[in-house]
Amino acid sequence: MGGVTSSMASKLAFFPPNPPFYKVITEKSSGLLLLDRFPHRENVDVLKLPTRRGNKIVAVYVRYPMATRTVLYSHGNAADIGQMYELFIDLSIHLKVNLMGYDYSGYGQSSGKPSEHHTYADIEAAYKCLEESYNTKQEDIILYGQSVGSGPTVNLAARLPRLRAVVLHSPILSGLRVMYPVKHTYWFDIYKNIDKIQSVKCPVLVIHGTSDEVVDCSHGKQLWELCQEKYEPLWIKGGKHCNLELYPEYIKHLKKFISAIDKTSSSQRNNNSRKSVDQSTTTRHHHHHFGRRKSTDCFEAPRKSTTKMEHLDFINELEPFALKFDVNDDKVGKLRIPYEHMERSRRSVEYIEKPRSSTDIKLEWPRMSVDCIDRIQS
């Protein structure tokens, strides 16, 4: 049965671009790591991070001057950071945040093979890097998960009690539920967000297109209903699975969300200051020593999923299907988001792979990002 799980995970979830859309090179003069397709930026670090499962993943860290928040972005299942790079730059500039994006094991120039549990280790490695290398506090981190990236995002968020916020962009209830309207969670399912989202203790913003042709909007709506701390969701009318960044309300709502959590944080700090004064007054003559609460690795075990049984005839039909990206993009256009400072507007994630013999050929065609259900030819 373990083979069933592995086969399902690989066929339904992972389509790393082949060949990758970038290479990691070392600048001779400085020894810095760079992505070969992009000029060096002083505010961007390219990193190779070890994971607890023995792989090394590639990540990029984008600094924004005086930023107080950091976004940890988990992309969809058919992109790599070579395709995401310019979006990372744009989001950092427009949201005024630091941003770390990373490639899953087996994606881009990351070693290993993609799997559900590898992605959990991958996001943990990126999170650990933020804390240890960039001195980022848990309460200043916003986890952002797009499509399949909602899986590692929710899994980590459920174990971080002081996380600042979570953004779920076209998220899935679970891998199996994308294809079949099952009522219960089975042990062989992957990315069981439906069973973990209630363990997330921070504000959650859900963004989903009402015309999503890959992951029905009901996934986002049900996850939002299950959230403990709901923020006003964004249901983009007519939005599909891979084009939400084309809508002006996308970036507008994200900015509103960032502003709201900043105000909440300021209010909490003021309340904590008042409490601290009160506590110091009442305990001035006592000799109790309170240890500082650690801000790193305060993981809590996620809630176990349910495994109630129902009719399973559909399992035999699973293998011929997979979630694949859609290359039919007849309405590609420029971003209509009014980025005041950005150098270049672009679509969110990926590009159509024209036949090419080398990864050095210039990218030409924009394409829709992550997933579409399609048959795998035998």
Q: Which amino acid is located at 218 in the chain?
A: S
Q: Among residues 173, 182, 164, which one has the least CA distance to residue 208? A: 173
Q: Among residues 74, 95, 88, 96, which one has the least CA distance to residue 44? A: 88
| Catalytic, out of 92, 105, 110, 147 | 147
Distance CA 180, CA 175 (A): 9
Neighbours of 250 (CB within 10 A): 22
Distance CA 132, CA 138 (A): 11
> Is position 105 annotated as part of the catalytic site?
no
Distance CA 164, CA 204 (A): 9
Distance CA 81, CA 22 (A): 8
| Catalytic, out of 94, 118, 169, 241 | 241
| Catalytic, out of 189, 212, 216, 329 | 212
Distance CA 276, CA 293 (A): 15
> Is position 212 annotated as part of the catalytic site?
yes
Distance CA 239, CA 81 (A): 24
Beta strands at 165-169 and 98-102: parallel, antiparallel or unpaired: unpaired
Distance CA 174, CA 189 (A): 7
Q: Among residues 106, 169, 121, which one has the least CA distance to residue 129? A: 121
Question: What would the two tokens of residue 138 be?
Answer: 């848990």
Alpha-carbon separation of residue 253 from 42, 208, 231 (angstroms): 29, 12, 11
> Is position 241 annotated as part of the catalytic site?
yes
Helices (H), 181-247: 193-196, 217-226
Q: In which residue are the tokens 């024209």 written? A: 354
For residue 302, cis peptide bond before it (omega within 30 degrees of 0)? no
- Catalytic residue IDs: 147, 212, 241
